Every structure is written in structure tokens, then in C-alpha cells.
Amino acid sequence: MSEANLITLLGEEKLEIAGELVKAIGHADRLSIIDLLRNNKDITVTEITQLLNLHQSVISQHLILMRRRGVLKRKKVGKESHYTIASPEIEQVLDIIIAVAKKL
């Protein structure tokens, strides 16, 4: 589909949002976070940090970016932040990225 068709289909504003969404998931650590959330559904920053063996500051930056772009949702439980994937379509996008990457 050409860009002109996408503009016609989405409009310029939604096309910009789509581009920002792709950027928001377009990092190996972020893809790993999404995959982790897909398999664990609702986990804390501490759990993500431990499971991915990354610094908490790095994880927090990725989570903030993805939450602002609508990829993730955050729920505060006491002092902890629990993260979930915002929509099932994000999981479908991850599946497509994995399938394409396996073919490369």
C-alpha cells in the first residue's frame, strides 16, 4: 500500500500516530518487554527488570515511552506500577514482526 493510500485511509494525523507507534515498539528491548507482558499479562517494573536482566532505569524509560504511545497501560497498586499490553492488536503486531524476522 502506498503512502498516498495510507493518507487517504487514515488521514495525516492518524498516519503520524501510526509512525510513532512503530517507533515506540521498534527497539529490541521494547519488543522483549512486550513479549514478556504477553506471556505474563500483568507484571511490575521490578519483575520486568529481573526477568530481562536490564537496569531499572532503562526499563522505566522504555515503559514510559510505550505507555505514552498507547502500547502499554499502567495500573498503580500501592507503590508499585503494574504494566499490561494496551490492546490485543499489539500482540498481533509482535507475532508479525517475529514471523518476518524468522524469514530474514
Q: Which pLDDT score is estimated for 11?
A: 85
AA letter at 64: I
Q: Which pLDDT score is estimated for 92?
A: 94
Closest to 37 measured CA to CA, from 79, 2, 78, 88: 88
Number of Cβ within 10 Å of residue 85's Cβ equals 20
**Residue ranges of E strands in the chain:** 43-44, 72-77, 80-85
Q: What is the reported pTM?
A: 0.87
| Dihedrals phi, psi of 75, to nearest 5 degrees | -130, 125
Which ranges of the chain have pLDDT less than 50? Answer: 1
AA letter at 15: L
Cβ contact 75:81 at 8 Å: yes
Please report the domains of the chain, with CATH numbers, ordered by start residue: 27-103 (1.10.10.10)
Q: Which pLDDT score is estimated for 4?
A: 61
